[in-house]
Structure formats: C-alpha cells, structure tokens
Amino acid sequence: MSDWSFETRAIHSGFNRDTKTGATSVPIYQTAAFGFDSAEDIADVFQGRKFGHVYSRISNPTVSALELRFADLEGGLGAVAVASGMAALISVIQTLAKAGDRIVASRSLFGGTIHLLEDVLSQMGMGVDWVEATNLAAFAAAIRPETRGILVEIIGNPKLDVVDVRGLAAIANHAGVPLIVDNTMTTPYLCQIRELGAHIGVNCMGKFLTGNGNAIGGIVVDLGTFDWKNSRSERIQEWSRKVGKMAFLTVMRKLVTVNTGACLSPFNAYLFLMGLEALAVRMDRHVINATSLATHLASHLAVCHVSYPALPGSGFEDLVKTQFGGRGGALLTIRLGSKEKAYLFLNALKLVTIAANLGDARTLAIHPASTIYRDFSESEQQASGVYVDMVRVSVGLESIQDLFHDFDQALRVIQGSSLKNAIGETHA
Amino acid sequence: MNIQINGKVESFVAETLTVSALLVAQKVDMPEMVSVEVNGDVLDRDAFGTTVVKEGDTVEFLYFMGGGRA
C-alpha cells in the first residue's frame, strides 16, 4: 500500500472492501462486545495469540480500519485512536512517563494543552519544563535525566511559530528521548513528520482530518524511528523484549488506553475515515484560501498586523518551504488595535462563524484572549502569542470572494466606528 | 517437520519454512499486525522473509492490539 501516492492511500489503505458483504464504505461496528465460538478462542485472543476483537474499549474493527489507514498516511508502524486530541496527548505521556518523570514542552502549545500539562501532570507527580518553541539550544539545555519526551506542535496555535522538526529530532536522538510532534495544524498531507525525524505523531482528528467539525477524536502514531530497546522508560524497554518495535504502541494500548477507557467511538471513527478520503483535496483548497486571505488582509488599512507562517516577513518562510512545501496551513491571526475593535469585527461577521474550533470546512473566528486563554495572565498570554486585540481565523473552503466580502464589510464597521470616535473627540 | 505454534504441536510436509510462508500456511489473520517470536526471540518484521523455522522450533504469534482486560 505504501508504494501508492498519499491521495490513493487516503481512500484505500486499511480497508478495501468488506469481505462478507462487499460494502465499499467501512462498516460501523456499533457494538460493545464480540461473541466467540469457544472458551478457547476468546482466551487465545485475550492472550494476543490470535487476532480478534473482544470489547470496543480495547479494539473495534471500524476503529482499527482508521488506525491502519492513518498509520499508513503518516508512514508509521501503527496507531492508536482515542476519544479526543487531549486523550491522545495524555495517553502518550502516561505511556512514556510516571511520577517523578518530566516532559520538555514548547511554550507555544495550544492553551488547552498547556492546561492539561499544568493541571493534570502536576497531580500525577510529573513535571514540565517549558521552552521557547524556536530555541533549539533551550530544548537541549532543558533535557534532564528524568526527561521522558519532548512535546511540540508543528505550528503553534495561535502563535503560528513553526518548529524546526529536524533540529529537534537531532537533539532528541542525541539525548535518547522521543520527539512527540502534534501534527494537527499541517496533517500528514502538508508535512511528513517521519521524514523530518519525529518519533511519535499526534493528531487531533476533529480538525482537518474530518474537515467538517462533526466529531471529536485523537490519534497517536509510532513513526518507527525510535529505538525502544533503549527507552528511558523501563516498562517500554521490558515490552520491547517481547514485542520488539511495537513496544510503545503495545504499552499504550494494553496498559494505558485500555485501562483509562479513552476509546474512540466506532461512529466517530467512521466520520474520520470519510473525512480522510478527501483530505488532500481539502488541504490544497484550505491553503489557497488562507494564503489569499492573509495577503488580502495584510494590505487592509483597518488591520494592524497579520500573522500567517507562509506570509513574507513571518520569519518562518524557510521552514514552511523545507518542511511543508511552501504551504502555511489554514490558520491565521489578525490584530485590530483594541479588544473593542476585535469584538466589533467578530460581531459584524455575517458568513464567518464565531466558534472555538479550527480545520472546519466553515471559516471560524474567535477572540482567544477572552476565551481559550481567559485564565492566563497577560504575560502568559503574550508568551503564547495571544494579544487582547487579536482574532484567530481558521480559513475554510468557501469561495474566496465571499470571504473577502465578509471580512471587508466587518472591517468597514471598525473603520466606521473609528471615524465616529474621531469625530466625537473633535466635537468634544 | 513438527514445530510448536502458540503452545500446540503442528506438522508440516516441508522440512523448513520461512516465517512469511508459515504465516500463509497457518492462515494467520491480519499478518501485517502480528509479532512473531521464534525460540524466545522477537523477529524484526523485515526478517520474516529470510528467517527459517525448522524441526523442533517454538513459534509464538502475538498481536499487539489483541488482549487486554475487558
């Protein structure tokens, strides 16, 4: 399957045709348990001697088809799909680390992920060492004997800084700790993180992978690039003697996700499989629209600043070129001068939806400072690239002319308000 | 030859078989997901086509995704 191109594998990999009925679309196995002919049969499956599904908290045929397809698209050994992107991240950390261990993490992680690491890991006796996403030397310096992994997002959300995956992989390899890359913002279509040397890939599937914002899910891929025999985790080392290269995925499924119950529903797995089929076509359009909108807004008088990784002057043009083939994803931010103007703009939008998601077919916008980052201090917000006058935009698949029209009319409302204020001030 | 597979003795006409051929002969489900242990050593997947099993060997098929505690 891996000889075929990405677009072909996104449609065919992991499931060709249902052997019993001929169904071309992956059937939804909406069942909690699976029946067996004999006590011996179910015992063999429990012991891992025979292939089979026993209970959907452990595995399910619809979810397995998704795992096989997505692992193929990332070029990995295998995958474990779970209930959300957050569940994927905590499952990776619970697989690699225990109380007393630490994770080195980028400061540019999504606010929800920062909360996860701050609020949950500390309660489990684990620590986090925060590092500037673009400072390779700081990553190297932050690694201690207790470090069990380095966690980054390929493009910070909403800071929109791009990490140097090759540089980080070299540091991770030198230290002997796995590099975990959240590839949600680029997906394996825009960036093959395995080729850049990453060890574990994480994707939040409710974003670009489904593409319709219709379900929540996460997936973890072992990219097959880490030597688990020499893992700093004794548990993974031990399992590598039994299952070889599959040690990380085995520990994650058998000892973590099965027990925590972070399983993905078969129905949601089906939605993600459907979404994946058109991923390449959608991502091309997302990128064209985002680039056009960023360029359009950069010359607008009412916009103080536009941030988009592929925009000239972003500082990330080289990494966007070498890692993503020049394609900067579909998220951009604009700064409008004040919180009031940001709110005026959001409330004036007619086509664009105010919502806390991204990677949707619909263009979505949000004021991060008063929503996702409401609990952060001003300095913490700024470290995450959040400003009080900033609006985050996830550019969808609508006609670009309609998007220009909606943004322009909403920006005119700000300009009208500025004019009224100026006139008011003159009269006062 | 007789070899022990997952705890049971199985007989084959051939005197030796590669692990790839053994997976086919045993009609192993989802062979792309199985780990194979020969005489206690876990094989690299890349070695399935070149590793030969012979009389008296012990073979275990292990699925990383099977099992668990339902």
pLDDT value of residue A48: 81
Dihedral, CA of residue A188, residue A190, residue A193 and residue A194, to nearest 10:
60
Beta bridge partners of A105: A130, A151
Confidence of residue A2 (pLDDT cuts 50, 70, 90): low
- Cα–Cα distance measured from residue A328 to residue A331, given in angstroms and rounded to the nearest whole number: 8
Co-location of A116 and A242 in the same domain: yes
Q: Let me know if residue B52 belongs to a domain.
A: yes
Place of tokens 């579909």: A330
* Cβ–Cβ below 8 Å for A48 and B67: yes
Co-location of A106 and A244 in the same domain: yes
Q: Let me know if residue A214 belongs to a domain.
A: yes
Of A245, A276, A307, the residue at which a domain comes to its end is: A276
Q: Let me know if residue B70 belongs to a domain.
A: no
Q: What is the ipTM of this complex?
A: 0.72
* Partner residue opposite B35 with nearest CB, options A47, A64, A246: A246
* Cβ–Cβ below 8 Å for B29 and A52: yes
Co-location of A192 and A333 in the same domain: no
Decide if B70 touches A, using CB distance below 8 A: yes
Residues A221-267 have pLDDT tens digits of 999 999 999 999 999 999 887 778 889 999 999 899 999 999 999 99
Q: Let me know if residue A143 belongs to a domain.
A: yes
* Beta pairing class for A200-204 and A218-222: antiparallel
Co-location of A111 and A234 in the same domain: yes
Q: Let me know if residue A1 belongs to a domain.
A: no
Co-location of A220 and A330 in the same domain: no
- Cα–Cα distance measured from residue A63 to residue A337, given in angstroms and rounded to the nearest whole number: 46
* Cβ–Cβ below 8 Å for A241 and B63: no
Q: Let me know if residue B69 belongs to a domain.
A: no
Decide if B13 touches A, using CB distance below 8 A: no
Residues A25-64 have pLDDT tens digits of 999 999 999 999 999 999 888 888 888 899 999 999 999 9
Q: Which run of H or of E encompasses A269?
A: helix A266-277
Domain coverage including residue A24: 6-276
Chains A and B form CB pairs within 8 A to the count of 84
Decide if B47 touches A, using CB distance below 8 A: no
Q: Which residues of B touch A249 (CB under 8 A)?
A: 64
- Contact assessment for residue A80 and residue A249, using Cβ atoms and an 8 Å cutoff: yes
Q: Let me know if residue A141 belongs to a domain.
A: yes
CATH code (residue A10): 3.40.640.10
- Contact assessment for residue A167 and residue A136, using Cβ atoms and an 8 Å cutoff: yes
Query: Around A305, how many Cα atoms within 13 Å sit in the side-chain half-sphere?
Result: 16
* Cβ–Cβ below 8 Å for B70 and A55: yes
- Contact assessment for residue A158 and residue A386, using Cβ atoms and an 8 Å cutoff: yes
How far apart are the CA of A263 and the nearest CA of chain B, in angstroms? 12
The torsion angles phi and psi of A232, rounded to 5 degrees, stand at: -75, -15
How far apart are the CA of B23 and the nearest CA of chain A, in angstroms? 12
- Structure tokens of A182? 């959240």
Residue count of chain A, please give it.
428
Of the candidates A399, A420, A411, the residue with the CA atom closest to the CA atom of residue A348? A411
Q: Let me know if residue A312 belongs to a domain.
A: yes
Q: For residue A374, give every residue at least 6 positions away whose Cβ sits within 8 Å of its Cβ, in sequence order, or none.
A: none
Co-location of A242 and A311 in the same domain: no
Co-location of A89 and A199 in the same domain: yes
* Partner residue opposite A253 with nearest CB, options B42, B62, B65: B65
Q: Which run of H or of E encompasses A62?
A: helix A61-74
Q: For residue A358, give every residue at least 6 positions away whose Cβ sits within 8 Å of its Cβ, in sequence order, or none.
A: A157, A207, A330, A331, A364, A392, A394
Decide if B69 touches A, using CB distance below 8 A: yes
CATH code (residue A333): 3.90.1150.10
Q: Let me know if residue B53 belongs to a domain.
A: yes
Residues A381-391 have pLDDT tens digits of 999 999 999 99
Of the candidates A360, A361, A388, the residue with the CA atom closest to the CA atom of residue A373? A388
Residues A155-165 have pLDDT tens digits of 999 999 999 99
- What average pLDDT score do residues B16-41 get? 88
Domain coverage including residue B36: 2-63
* Cβ–Cβ below 8 Å for A54 and B42: no
Co-location of A134 and A39 in the same domain: yes
Q: The pTM is what?
A: 0.91
How far apart are the CA of A188 and the nearest CA of chain B, in angstroms? 21
Confidence of residue A112 (pLDDT cuts 50, 70, 90): very high
pLDDT value of residue A178: 98
Q: Let me know if residue B68 belongs to a domain.
A: no
Co-location of A253 and A337 in the same domain: no
Q: Which residues of A touch B66 (CB under 8 A)?
A: 45-52, 54, 59
Of A239, A259, A276, the residue at which a domain comes to its end is: A276
Best of B23, B63, B69 to substitute, by most chain A Cβ atoms within 10 angstroms, is B63
How far apart are the CA of B22 and the nearest CA of chain A, in angstroms? 15
> What total of structural domains would you count in chain A?
2
CATH code (residue B8): 3.10.20.30
Q: Let me know if residue A379 belongs to a domain.
A: yes
- Cα–Cα distance measured from residue A286 to residue A394, given in angstroms and rounded to the nearest whole number: 9
Distance of CA A28 to the CA centre of its chain: 25
How far apart are the CA of A258 and the nearest CA of chain B, in angstroms? 7
Co-location of A307 and A415 in the same domain: yes
Co-location of A242 and A337 in the same domain: no
Asked whether residue B9 carries a pLDDT value surpassing 50, the answer given is yes
Q: Which residues of A touch B68 (CB under 8 A)?
A: 46, 54-55, 57-59, 253-254, 258
Q: Which residues of B touch A51 (CB under 8 A)?
A: 28-30, 33-34, 63, 65-66
DSSP at A253? I
How far apart are the CA of B13 and the nearest CA of chain A, in angstroms? 24
Q: Which residues of B touch A49 (CB under 8 A)?
A: 6-7, 60-63, 66
Q: Let me know if residue B34 belongs to a domain.
A: yes
Q: Which run of H or of E encompasses A230?
A: none
Q: Which residues of B touch A47 (CB under 8 A)?
A: 66-67
Q: Let me know if residue B20 belongs to a domain.
A: yes
How far apart are the CA of A261 and the nearest CA of chain B, in angstroms? 10
Q: Which residue of B has its CA nearest to A245?
A: B44
> What total of structural domains would you count in chain B?
1
How far apart are the CA of B29 and the nearest CA of chain A, in angstroms? 6
Asked whether residue A401 carries a pLDDT value surpassing 90, the answer given is yes
- Contact assessment for residue B42 and residue A48, using Cβ atoms and an 8 Å cutoff: no
pLDDT value of residue B69: 36
Co-location of A284 and A163 in the same domain: no
Of A257, A276, A295, the residue at which a domain comes to its end is: A276
* Cβ–Cβ below 8 Å for B68 and A54: yes
Asked whether residue B70 carries a pLDDT value surpassing 60, the answer given is no
Q: What is the DSSP string of A83-145?
A: SSHHHHHHHHHHHH--TT-EEEEETTS-HHHHHIIIIIIGGGT-EEEEE-TT-HHHHHHH--T
pLDDT value of residue B7: 86
- What average pLDDT score do residues A124-139 get? 97
Best of A47, A60, A221, A252 to substitute, by most chain B Cβ atoms within 10 angstroms, is A47
Q: Let me know if residue A44 belongs to a domain.
A: yes
DSSP at A350? S
* Beta pairing class for B2-5 and B8-11: antiparallel
Residue type, A255: L
